[in-house]
Amino acid sequence: MRIRFRAALATAVAALGLVAGSVAPAQAATGYDRCPKGRFCIFDGRDGTGAMASYSTVQTRLGSWDNRASSVYNRTSYKNVCLFTQPYYKYEDSVHDIRLEMDGTDFRMDLAHIRDANSHMDNNLSSFRWAATSRECETGTEYLPWENPTWSSRVNHLPFGDLDGDGNADLLQRTHTGRLWFLPGNGSGRAISSGWNSMTALTRHGDLTGDGREDLLARNKQGVLTLYAGNGKGAFPWHKAIGSGWNSMTAIQAAGDLSGDGRMDLVARNKQGVLTLYSGDGKGAFPWHKAISSGWNGMLTFAAPGDLSGDRHDDLVAGDSAGKLWLYPGNGHGGFTARKLIGSSGWRSFTTILGVGDMATPTGRPDIIAAQSGEVYGSVRLFSGQPGGKLQNLGDLARLDHGDLLR
């Protein structure tokens, strides 16, 4: 059987520096115990026996240790360590190459156990690296190489979701480093800027400033809500503070045009569970607001899908603590008609739901992305909008990793 070897994954911790180098066995230690703390060690004998080399940096090539290691010991603070049978972390031949991911700190492994009829790891290790995420460990890429299933069709004709004006729904990703990435949906990614870990809320839905380009709202740890104006090219070149005191809100969602005046609005839930509409003026501000209703503390997630119900009014979707997903059809006057159950169970596992425009099929109906937590390597799943506000599960698009957040 042709196998690609991989281990299960957990979480990541901190980074190391220094320079790689060999270390002589300590007199008082034997076997694996000779490996110094903070190092990754390889041995030319099984179970930590024989000669040893230890490293504090990743290695593209192993020099005299190439194709020599029989056992390894991870004593770095990283849980994601990847071993490759090819130098420079290459994995090109799925039959004969091996890319093995070790899961966990203080992890020991005898490489003789990693083999099948076509390949083996014992005396075949040529490079290794560790990283804060499984994705970086395996591929060296920080961003999620997300692929929009309809990217080449350019089917998104809705007035939101498309950040670069190419007719496709796009995503934003914040990684564990605090960098914000633009994901156009073709597997590539572009870093926008860094420092976004200081934000406690990020939300977007359409054009807030009146220039026809989608914008972004962010709240920082001090409670200041800031508008980041989109340039129509997948970036946000300027920003302005909208207001302070937003730390009193436990949920903030750019909501589309709920008031029916053609301008994009915002909804926010306070600590008492009251959901309030903040009406946009089309110039990047929200000059007036009104309470919609109370009792919203039971909702864990919110999304603004646009007109999911098909009545020409923008709607709201919310997932509750019981795992149900509800559609709140907008009435076009800043409120909602009777809610409708559109997901009977299983939605509590999704920590993020997003209205992303028309991504699944060229129907003109809005779709939804639901993502599980990256801390459990959760799936990113696409749901296609159907007549009457129903959703069709189209399966997983990708998996998130430690520190990932999608918007």
Encode the chain (407 residues) as per-residue pLDDT tens digits.
Answer: 223 334 332 222 222 222 333 444 445 688 999 999 999 999 999 999 999 999 999 999 999 999 999 999 999 999 999 999 999 999 999 889 999 998 888 899 999 999 888 899 999 999 999 999 999 999 999 999 998 887 766 666 788 999 999 988 999 999 999 999 999 999 999 999 999 999 999 999 999 999 999 999 999 999 999 999 999 999 999 999 999 999 999 999 999 999 999 999 999 999 999 999 999 999 999 999 999 999 999 999 999 999 999 999 999 999 999 999 999 999 999 999 999 999 999 999 999 999 988 887 767 789 999 999 988 789 999 999 999 999 999 999 999 999 999 99
Positive or negative, the CA dihedral 358, 361, 363, 365 is negative
The per-residue pLDDT for 309 is: 95
**pLDDT value at position 2?**
29
**In degrees to the nearest 10, what's the CA dihedral of 187, 192, 197, 198?**
-160
Name, in order, each residue with C-beta under 8 angstroms of 177's C-beta and a sequence gap of 6 or more.
132, 142, 194, 197, 403
**Residue 62: φ, ψ to 5°:** -110, 5
Do residues 189 and 179 lie in contact, with contact meaning Cβ atoms separated by under 8 Å? no
